[in-house]
């Protein structure tokens, strides 16, 4: 490995230590209660070294939010989009992957959905994140329950999104509860919403009804959250 490559690797490793330390401290103490000095000390660096990676605490916080937003969006959902099985089977696979990410990143989750910094840019990030996730929920409802009136799609999408987030935060305070419990709860909530819609025969679910029939082929509903 060349000196240049070693330098790049060392820089990447230091940046990861900074981000991991910041995620833990922001989650434990909040944005306002965490100082740059504490983050640097926790990462085993000096403050000047930290500032080589991030210009400010706000920039570090936003970088963390963006990193984990993208990782959460990339949680494995192959079973939902391409896998075999009925709607419940695919929803189960999707929610299990989603809650699996939450389980393996508890500090990040608290930072992303509980912490309030008072910063307008961070607040706008959270609003945009919620909007995106609400829209993916709406897309799924359109795919599997095409009979839902358009005016109801946004509040129903918000109901799914807020249920998903609320359960995740509830779980972080009760880590002894099995992941399967939360997965089953979200599947029940989602199927309950879909099953209340009368789907015209031959549309959406092949005439079997949205409550438990086959998933329509060829569609890409995306993921909830």
Report the Cα 221 to chain-centroid distance in Å. 16
Selected residue with higher pLDDT from 180 and 123: 180
Structure confidence at residue 41 (pLDDT) = 96
- Four-way CATH pick for 3-55: 1.20.58.220, 3.60.15.10, 1.10.10.60, 3.40.220.10: 1.10.10.60
Structure confidence at residue 224 (pLDDT) = 43
Residues 6+ away with beta carbon under 8 Å from 119: 31, 58, 61
Mean per-residue pLDDT for 210-217?
36
Give the predicted TM-score (pTM) of the model.
Answer: 0.70
What share of the chain has pLDDT > 70, as a percent? 78
DSSP 143-183: HH-TTS-HHHHHHHHHHHHHHHHHHHHHHHT-TTS-HHHHH
**Predicted confidence (pLDDT) at residue 17 exceeds the cutoff of 90:** yes
CB atoms within 10 A of CB 5: 9
DSSP code for 217: T
Reported as a pLDDT band with limits 50, 70 and 90, residue 115 is: low
Cα separation, 82 vs 85, in Å, equals: 10
Cα separation, 25 vs 19, in Å, equals: 10
Residues 6+ away with beta carbon under 8 Å from 51: 36
Helix extents (H) in the chain: 3-29, 36-42, 47-51, 57-73, 78-81, 87-104, 106-113, 120-144, 150-172, 179-195
Report the Cα 60 to chain-centroid distance in Å. 19
Selected residue with higher pLDDT from 218 and 116: 116
Reported as a pLDDT band with limits 50, 70 and 90, residue 8 is: confident
Cα separation, 49 vs 39, in Å, equals: 11
CB 119 within 8 A of CB 31: yes
Give the CATH fold of the 76-195 domain. Tetracycline Repressor; domain 2 (1.10.357)
Domain ranges of the chain: 3-55, 76-195
Mean per-residue pLDDT for 172-179?
92
């Amino acid at each position: 490995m060349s000196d240049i490559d070693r330098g790049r690797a060392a820089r990447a490793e230091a940046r990861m230590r900074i981000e991991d330390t910041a995620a833990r401290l922001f989650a434990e103490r909040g944005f306002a209660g965490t100082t740059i000095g504490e983050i640097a000390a926790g990462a085993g660096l000096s403050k000047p070294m930290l500032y080589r990676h991030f210009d400010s605490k706000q920039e570090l916080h936003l970088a963390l939010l963006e990193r984990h937003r993208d990782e959460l969006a990339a949680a494995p959902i192959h079973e939902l989009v391409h896998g075999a099985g009925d709607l419940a089977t695919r929803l189960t696979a999707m929610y299990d992957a989603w809650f699996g990410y939450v389980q393996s990143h508890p500090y990040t989750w608290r930072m992303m959905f509980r912490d309030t910094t008072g910063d307008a840019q961070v607040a706008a990030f959270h609003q945009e994140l919620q909007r995106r996730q609400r829209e993916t929920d709406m897309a799924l409802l359109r795919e599997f329950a095409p009979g839902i009136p358009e005016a109801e799609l946004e509040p129903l999408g918000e109901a799914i999104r807020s249920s998903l987030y609320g359960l995740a935060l509830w779980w972080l305070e009760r880590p002894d509860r099995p992941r399967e419990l939360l997965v089953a709860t979200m599947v029940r909530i989602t199927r309950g919403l879909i099953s209340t819609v009368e789907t015209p025969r031959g549309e959406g679910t092949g005439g079997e009804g949205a409550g438990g029939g086959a998933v329509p082929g060829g569609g890409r509903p995306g993921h909830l959250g």
